[in-house]
């Protein structure tokens, strides 16, 4: 991969559009190095992209599903061929370790293939003959979809939206986050080139572009992944024209460790560590607080630290032994540090985890050594806020009732995990308020793209992945053909 900065552009109606202004994206490992430039698009450019998507929708909605699948499969093949180059670009602009960037591409392709293989079945019209006549139920595309994505998983959180939206006959304008805009632009360019101009458009920029994408009357649906606070503004912006919405938001996912969890199970302990520190903790479904039954609390901590010190190796994301790279941006570093310092100032113990493989990078890059926080209060910010970084608080509990309440009193409910004897863990899981609960694993390790994913409460609205993730891009249209045309319930 070249060290020359690359430049990406907006794609509007099949054309790469030169913008008036470009913003640099720095390398979080070496912040003085510019990885590339992404446009700072304007509201006017966003409107042009929406108009293009709106105009082409008039024909595209009648396209054949087989044709759409063939186009998407060609794009999948081209993305596959580009993975060696694009995963390096992603790792460099984002800070995630190279194996992690490759993993993101693997999950994205798995989902795109699932969507290709299942769309036909999911949207096939149903015809029901019954005593009153015949009813035809079709699944129709919704229209222009505005997709807005965050920086932590830019490829998978974009393809999770693009594949079902386009395969079901919608058109789209996508805006990625300015904190990881480069590799995702390349991926979108590959996909857009396989579809008619205007079907998939790309604009970059800040909140003003996001506001246009979520309030413009020609947009029919919003597919947003990002913070809960941003989602609240989006809901307001979208309310004027009652847009459909899928919102995948923040979480404060808990790992609940029951008294029958085997602390000597090294593989389980490693899964626990990974579920806290993969991608330096910057995943919506990372386990962000661990509750451990008091009877095994001390033994758990001892074994956890052992496992963490083996798995966590902090350093240059391109170093083959590194498992945890830098944090993506400086704001996030400061936020995570403030939560840890707050806990420390209130008397919590902060234990540093893992080995530093490239000590020379630590002071210049956006690095934070992973930490375990012991002794925080149940309601301290480090426990109740989403840290979204490499730190995790661990707290004891005495009764299952108590831990279920601590879990469920959160405003969030994205994923969660219960660790222990399987049947016992399932019993506890049934009482958890979350979109997904994993048993003896957590985070991406327990993700299965065949099943719906999303949050309850302030973690979201709707589901992505699985058949539900395809259905969320269609409207149900019922065509009733009654045999008896007299209305039975109206009095003479
Ligand atoms: P963010 O909400 O700050 O930004 C997300 C996107 O929204 C960006 O593209 C941003 O430019 C855009 N945006 C900002 N203001 C806007 C506005 N007023 N109108 C429209 N768009 C606007 O989130 P982030 O910091 O990029 O990502 C981190 C957050 O995303 C975390 O809370 C994390 O939990 C969440 N997340 C959730 C999931 C999930 O599936 N539930 C997955 C990944 C990340």
Rounded to whole angstroms, how far apart are CA atoms 327 and 318?
A: 14
Q: Looking up tokens 């430039």, which residue turns up?
A: 37
Please tell me whether residues 195 and 290 are part of one structural domain. Answer: no
What's the CA-to-centroid distance between 227 and ligand 1, angstroms?
Answer: 4
For ligand 1, atom 14, name the residue with the nearest CA.
207
Please tell me whether residues 300 and 218 are part of one structural domain. Answer: no
* Per-residue pLDDT at 487 exceeds 70: no
Q: What is the pLDDT of residues 248-273, one digit of tens each?
A: 999 999 999 999 999 999 999 999 99
Q: In what order do the strands lie in the sheet with 22-26?
A: 6-7, 34-39, 22-26
Told to judge if 116 belongs to the known catalytic residues of this protein, a careful annotator would answer no
What's the CA-to-centroid distance between 487 and ligand 1, angstroms?
Answer: 50
For ligand 1, atom 35, name the residue with the nearest CA.
226
Please tell me whether residues 29 and 161 are part of one structural domain. Answer: yes
The answer to whether position 421 is within a domain reads yes
Please tell me whether residues 462 and 432 are part of one structural domain. Answer: no
Percentage, residues of the chain above pLDDT 90: 97
What backbone phi and psi angles, to 5 degrees, belong to 222?
-115, 130
Atom of ligand 1 nearest to the CA of 234: 19
Give the per-residue pLDDT at 236. Answer: 97
Q: What is the pLDDT of residues 296-322, one digit of tens each?
A: 999 999 999 999 999 999 999 999 999
Q: To 5 degrees, how large is the angle CA 86–CA 192–CA 230? A: 75
For ligand 1, atom 16, name the residue with the nearest CA.
207
For ligand 1, atom 39, name the residue with the nearest CA.
248
End-to-end CA distance of the chain: 80
The answer to whether position 483 is within a domain reads no
Give the per-residue pLDDT at 157. Answer: 98
For ligand 1, atom 37, name the residue with the nearest CA.
249
Q: What is the pLDDT of residues 456-471, one digit of tens each?
A: 999 999 999 999 999 9
Residue 352: Cβ within 10 Å count:
13
Across the range 354-359, mean pLDDT stands at 96
Please tell me whether residues 325 and 210 are part of one structural domain. Answer: no
Give the per-residue pLDDT at 350. Answer: 98
Looking at residue 123, which CATH number applies to its domain?
A: 3.40.605.10
- Candidate of 227, 240, 464, 466 to mutate for ligand 1, largest count of ligand atoms within 8 Å of Cβ: 227
From 103, 118, 154, 69, select the one nearest 450 (Cα to Cα): 118
What's the CA-to-centroid distance between 233 and ligand 1, angstroms?
Answer: 11
105 in Cβ contact with 79 (< 8 Å): yes
Atom of ligand 1 nearest to the CA of 228: 32
Q: Which residues pair with 395 in a beta bridge?
A: 291
The answer to whether position 491 is within a domain reads no
Output the six-digit token pair for 448: 């299965």
Looking at residue 342, which CATH number applies to its domain?
A: 3.40.309.10
* Per-residue pLDDT at 204 exceeds 70: yes
Q: What is the pLDDT of residues 57-66, one digit of tens each?
A: 999 999 999 9
Model confidence at 388, pLDDT cuts 50, 70, 90, reads very high
**Active-site residue identified among 284, 386, 464, 467:** 284
What's the CA-to-centroid distance between 209 and ligand 1, angstroms?
Answer: 13
Model confidence at 488, pLDDT cuts 50, 70, 90, reads low
Model confidence at 73, pLDDT cuts 50, 70, 90, reads very high
What's the CA-to-centroid distance between 225 and ligand 1, angstroms?
Answer: 5
Output the six-digit token pair for 158: 């974009």
Mean confidence (pLDDT) of the chain: 97
309 in Cβ contact with 355 (< 8 Å): yes
* Per-residue pLDDT at 2 exceeds 70: no
What's the CA-to-centroid distance between 207 and ligand 1, angstroms?
Answer: 10
- Candidate of 145, 159, 226, 252 to mutate for ligand 1, largest count of ligand atoms within 8 Å of Cβ: 226
- Candidate of 107, 149, 150, 240 to mutate for ligand 1, largest count of ligand atoms within 8 Å of Cβ: 150
Residue 208: give the domain boundaries.
6-249+455-478
Exposure b/e, 285-311, CB count within 10 A at least 16 = b: bbbbbbbbbeebbeebbebbbebbeeb
Percentage, residues of the chain above pLDDT 70: 98
Please tell me whether residues 339 and 244 are part of one structural domain. Answer: no
| 316 contacts: CB under 8 Å, gap ≥ 6 | 29, 322, 325, 357, 358, 361
What's the CA-to-centroid distance between 205 and ligand 1, angstroms?
Answer: 13
What's the CA-to-centroid distance between 323 and ligand 1, angstroms?
Answer: 25
| CA distances, 129 to each of 325, 476, 480, 488 (Å) | 59, 18, 10, 19
What's the CA-to-centroid distance between 52 and ligand 1, angstroms?
Answer: 25
- The secondary structure of the chain, three-state, reads CCCCCEECCEEECCEEECCCCEEEEECCCCCCCEEEEEECCCHHHHHHHHHHHHHHHHHHCCCCHHHHHHHHHHHHHHHHHHHHHHHHHHHHHHCCCHHHHHHHHHHHHHHHHHHHHHHHHHHCCEEEEECCEEEEEEEEECCEEEEECCCCCHHHHHHHHHHHHHHCCCEEEEECCCCCCHHHHHHHHHHHHCCCCCCEEECCCCHHHHHHHHHCCCEEEEEEECCHHHHHHHHHHHHCCCCEEEEECCCCCEEEECCCCCCCCHHHHHHHHHHHHHHHHCCCCCCCEEEEEHHHHHHHHHHHHHHHHHHCEECCCCCCCCCECCCCCHHHHHHHHHHHHHHHHCCCEEEECCEECCHHHCCCCCCCCCEEEECCCCCCHHHHCCCCCCEEEEEEECCHHHHHHHHHCCCCCCEEEEECCHHHHHHHHCCCCCCEEEECCCHHHHCCCCCCECCCHHHEECCECHHHHHHCCEEEEEEEEECCCCCCCCCC
Please tell me whether residues 394 and 306 are part of one structural domain. Answer: yes
The answer to whether position 337 is within a domain reads yes
For ligand 1, atom 20, name the residue with the nearest CA.
210
Q: What is the domain count for the chain?
A: 2
The answer to whether position 490 is within a domain reads no
* Per-residue pLDDT at 434 exceeds 80: yes
Q: What is the pLDDT of residues 98-153, one digit of tens each?
A: 999 999 999 999 999 999 999 999 999 999 999 989 999 999 999 999 999 999 99
The answer to whether position 69 is within a domain reads yes
For ligand 1, atom 24, name the residue with the nearest CA.
150
Told to judge if 468 belongs to the known catalytic residues of this protein, a careful annotator would answer no
Residues with CB under 6 A from ligand 1: 148-153, 157, 175, 177, 206-207, 210-211, 214, 225-227, 230, 233-234, 248-251, 284, 386, 388, 414, 455, 460
Atom of ligand 1 nearest to the CA of 464: 40
Please tell me whether residues 282 and 320 are part of one structural domain. Answer: yes
31 CB burial (10 A radius; 0-12, 13-18, 19+): middle
The answer to whether position 1 is within a domain reads no
Atom of ligand 1 nearest to the CA of 179: 26
Please tell me whether residues 169 and 306 are part of one structural domain. Answer: no
The answer to whether position 486 is within a domain reads no
199 in Cβ contact with 192 (< 8 Å): yes
**Active-site residue identified among 26, 93, 194, 248:** 248
* Per-residue pLDDT at 486 exceeds 80: no
Atom of ligand 1 nearest to the CA of 237: 19
Rounded to whole angstroms, how far apart are CA atoms 360 and 356?
A: 9
Across the range 232-254, mean pLDDT stands at 97
Please tell me whether residues 225 and 322 are part of one structural domain. Answer: no
Rounded to whole angstroms, how far apart are CA atoms 6 and 129?
A: 58
Output the six-digit token pair for 375: 């002794």
- Give Cα 307 distance to the centre of its chain: 27
Please tell me whether residues 279 and 424 are part of one structural domain. Answer: yes
Give the per-residue pLDDT at 484. Answer: 76
Please tell me whether residues 43 and 129 are part of one structural domain. Answer: yes
């Amino acid at each position: 991969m070249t060290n020359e900065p690359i430049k990406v552009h907006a794609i509007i109606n099949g054309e790469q559009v030169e913008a008036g202004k470009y913003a640099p994206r720095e390398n979080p490992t070496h912040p003085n190095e510019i990885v590339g430039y992404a446009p700072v698009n304007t509201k006017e450019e966003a409107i042009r992209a929406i108009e293009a998507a709106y105009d082409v929708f008039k024909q595209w909605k009648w396209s054949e599903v087989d044709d759409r699948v063939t186009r998407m499969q060609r794009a999948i093949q081209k993305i596959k061929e580009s993975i060696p180059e694009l995963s390096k670009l992603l790792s460099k602009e984002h800070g995630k370790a190279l194996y992690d960037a490759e993993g993101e591409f693997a999950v994205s392709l798995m989902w795109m293939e699932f969507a290709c293989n299942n769309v036909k079945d999911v949207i096939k019209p149903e015809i029901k003959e019954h005593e009153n006549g015949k009813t035809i139920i079709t699944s129709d595309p919704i229209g222009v979809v505005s997709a807005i994505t965050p920086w932590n998983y830019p490829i998978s959180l974009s393809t999770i939206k693009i594949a079902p939206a386009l395969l079901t006959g919608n058109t789209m304008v996508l805006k990625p986050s300015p904190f990881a805009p480069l590799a995702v632009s390349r991926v979108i360019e590959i996909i857009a080139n396989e579809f008619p101009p205007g079907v998939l458009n790309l604009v970059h920029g800040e909140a003003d572009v996001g506001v246009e994408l979520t309030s413009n009357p020609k947009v029919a649906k919003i597919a947003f992944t990002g913070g809960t606070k941003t989602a609240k503004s989006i809901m307001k912006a979208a309310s004027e024209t009652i847009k459909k919405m899928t919102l995948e938001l923040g979480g404060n996912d808990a790992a609940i460790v029951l008294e029958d969890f085997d602390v000597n199970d090294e593989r389980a302990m490693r899964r626990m560590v990974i579920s806290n520190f993969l991608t330096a903790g910057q995943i919506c479904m990372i386990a962000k607080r661990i509750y451990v039954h008091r009877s095994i609390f001390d033994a758990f901590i001892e074994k956890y630290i052992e496992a963490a010190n083996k798995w966590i190796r902090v350093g240059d994301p391109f170093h083959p032994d590194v498992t945890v790279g830098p944090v993506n941006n400086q704001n996030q570093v400061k936020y995570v540090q403030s939560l840890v310092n707050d806990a420390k100032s209130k008397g919590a113990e902060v234990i540093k985890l893992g080995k530093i493989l490239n000590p020379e990078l630590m002071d210049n890059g956006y690095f934070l050594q992973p930490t375990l926080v012991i002794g925080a209060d149940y309601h301290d910010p480090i426990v109740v806020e989403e840290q979204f970084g490499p730190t995790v608080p661990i707290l004891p509990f005495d009764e299952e009732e108590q831990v279920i309440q601590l879990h469920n009193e959160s405003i969030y409910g994205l994923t969660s995990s219960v660790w222990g004897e399987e049947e016992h863990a399932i019993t506890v899981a049934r009482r958890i308020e979350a979109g997904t609960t994993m048993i003896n694993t957590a985070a991406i390790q327990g993700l299965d793209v065949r099943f719906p994913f999303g949050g309850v409460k302030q973690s979201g609205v709707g589901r992505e992945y699985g058949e539900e993730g395809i259905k969320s891009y269609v409207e149900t249209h019922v065509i009733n053909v009654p045999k008896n045309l007299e209305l039975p319930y109206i009095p003479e």
